[in-house]
Structure 1
């Protein structure tokens, strides 16, 4: 069969399959991400039938998917909103890091994987899935709730922290010296700081420059600018995803609204391809040996994320119900965890299977935690209050004496 013919058939089957899986996920009320990962595992190396003709195209599409995920996330914020959120939520961000990065690092060390794997696995357990959380908030009708800005603030701090973490991880994985790694980190911080300053102070000029009444021209200009900046940041040893996120922050007002509508379908397509690609690159036979550690790590970090959200909402003066909802909303892990594991796969291949199993568990548990954390906490609170107000039972002898009338 001709290569182009095989590519069309194979790629068409992949996209059609993703559409059917997405429809199934929508009917059962779950994120489609775990189904996409499972599909990648089924047709990757060691799976039912490896994809050969479309593998390189899927790999490129996966990189585009990460950039578009972070671009559209950045479009949700203006520079001033982001600055205000950082000022208000940075203590919560510190608590988030301590509670959720340390379990991953300790797990890698206890498994005997070494310091490099510990740094990578700390990132995997630290970062919540902005995509899953944002979609679930909309599906549950909670975008207007008082705790939602708190949730968004924690997510933004995590995403910005990636601008520092990912260059450091990349430098460590590349085996750079301390001086080379320091230079890489300085370049990353300088680049992020410059773009952030431009987004806050001059974002309206950028929006005006790319603005167009023609949807086709607007799509081409913004998509081209995003990919160029993503490529340049990648060349500077900064994640392409961070560059795309900063471009999204720089666009505002009507431009952001128009771009969001134009690029959302492309994001959904290439993001699905990204999750499939990660599954393709993981051998299913590598998962059973790490399933038990993944389940234990998922249980621990689900609780630490709930504690993080509860603390952040409490600092913001949110009531008890909103605190529990905030905690449950942060449980899901997803895109960034997979990105980190993908970066580490070449040097620390053991991280990939554990991250895949871990994300599968928490991306399933995340929507459930959003729905049931607050009702469960309320029910437990009612039970505790009922026990506190119930008078203690009289001794048996006293009850018998009352019944017989004897003193």
Structure 2
């Protein structure tokens, strides 16, 4: 009877997630907010709390996080990461400063303490690679000139996670300075070792894992990932970081084959993860943090747009491309929930989970909209300001003419004594004019 109830509950969850995903695809937006809402509906304080299947959902959620990070690692080669670190690190520093600081300040203003401030800084800092990749594909922008800039910012955020997650793990565990330093040193050492091995021996590793049989390739890659993730967690590094490093170590045909095989599993268990996070958030606790979540969403949407604009300008992208890059980076999603989930599990601040849920719900819906409309809205605003400036300059000229100012008066020597010349346009106005004509 117990197993029958489990099968009914878990089957209903998977079926419901599939229907929600189809609904989201029909209207071309991310299913993540729907998955979170489903978890809220069937979790603590929800409409119909789950019973026997909750423990299995928790295990599935942990696998979901591991697969999310593994698939992100498969997207990049070690040489790509090294190149991005060398050329785009200023963009990463600007990204961290502009987007992590608002989250930390909000936590301190709410009196949550320094540990919660570090956690919320990560929630507001990291963009959603999954949502952004889908949005760029849907909008047909994968070949745009600003796309490498966007991907560079995302890669740097992924690399930062390899350092950030061990720090968070140590802080949440209450480790002291010495223990936290050892954990960070281990994380950096392992990450550096894996990157070195991937650059120097990537082909040998891929050849060892490679197989013409999809079944054997799937089993070897998945087994290796779970094994490394477990060892990493045992060393207090982070299972997610271990999975990310495994993805980096695999390259070429192996990475492509593993990506194709693991994508359906990633989608399944990632959906379970979002549901699991919602299950542990009481819906009645969200209204009390909705206003600070909205304020934080508005502020950090603006800082992400500024980040993308600055990074694209530094790369020599045109003004329209700068606005597109900024608007595309707004979405938050899986990483923010992963970070908040660690804090919720540690029980450091009861309101942090609801705030992160509301924050992600707002930006995962707003993100695709800013990606689509930031550039045309910015163009219209600039054109409107340009017309206002031109109209104002014309009105001043007419008034000067009526008053007899700015006309040439003969002095008998043929000298022009005009005093009402129109000043030359400023350099920033030239930039505005160029954008307005595009």
TM range, smaller chain:
over 0.9
**Equivalent residue, structure 1, for 2:282:** 283
Q: Which is bigger in relative contact order (C-alpha 8 A, separation at least 6)?
A: 1
Displacement of 1:196 in angstroms is 1.3
**Equivalent residue, structure 1, for 2:272:** 273
Query: Where do 1:5-404 residues align within 5 Å?
Result: 5-345=4-344, 346-390=347-391, 391-393=393-395, 394=398
Deviation string, structure 1 residues 227-277 (Cα, Å, up to 9, x no partner): 111111111222211111111111111111111111111111111001000
Displacement of 1:348 in angstroms is 2.2
Counterparts of 1:198 and 1:275 in 2: how far apart (Å)?
Answer: 33
Deviation string, structure 1 residues 274-307 (Cα, Å, up to 9, x no partner): 1000000111111110000000000000000000
Counterparts of 1:281 and 1:260 in 2: how far apart (Å)?
Answer: 30
Counterparts of 1:139 and 1:240 in 2: how far apart (Å)?
Answer: 31
Deviation string, structure 1 residues 159-201 (Cα, Å, up to 9, x no partner): 1111111111111111111111111111111111111111122
SS of the residue corresponding to residue 392 of structure 1 reads helix
Which runs of 4 or more aligned residues in structure 1 lie more than 6 Å from their structure 2 counterparts after TM superposition?
A: none
Counterparts of 2:46 and 2:366 in 1: how far apart (Å)?
Answer: 25
Q: Aligned residue pairs: how many?
A: 398
**Unaligned ranges ≥5, structure 2:** 404-438
Counterparts of 1:298 and 1:236 in 2: how far apart (Å)?
Answer: 35
Counterparts of 1:380 and 1:262 in 2: how far apart (Å)?
Answer: 46
Q: Which moved more, 1:135-144 or 1:282-291?
A: 135-144
Deviation string, structure 1 residues 94-145 (Cα, Å, up to 9, x no partner): 0111100000000011111111111111111011011111111111111111
Bigger-Rg structure (1/2): 2
Q: Which moved more, 1:300-309 or 1:63-72?
A: 63-72
Counterparts of 1:239 and 1:139 in 2: how far apart (Å)?
Answer: 33
Task: Give me the TM-score of the superposition, normalised by structure 2.
Answer: 0.89
SS of the residue corresponding to residue 332 of structure 2 reads coil
Displacement of 1:398 in angstroms is 5.8
**Unaligned ranges ≥5, structure 1:** 400-407
Task: Give me the TM-score of the superposition, normalised by structure 1.
Answer: 0.95
Deviation string, structure 1 residues 68-106 (Cα, Å, up to 9, x no partner): 111111111111111111111100100111100000000
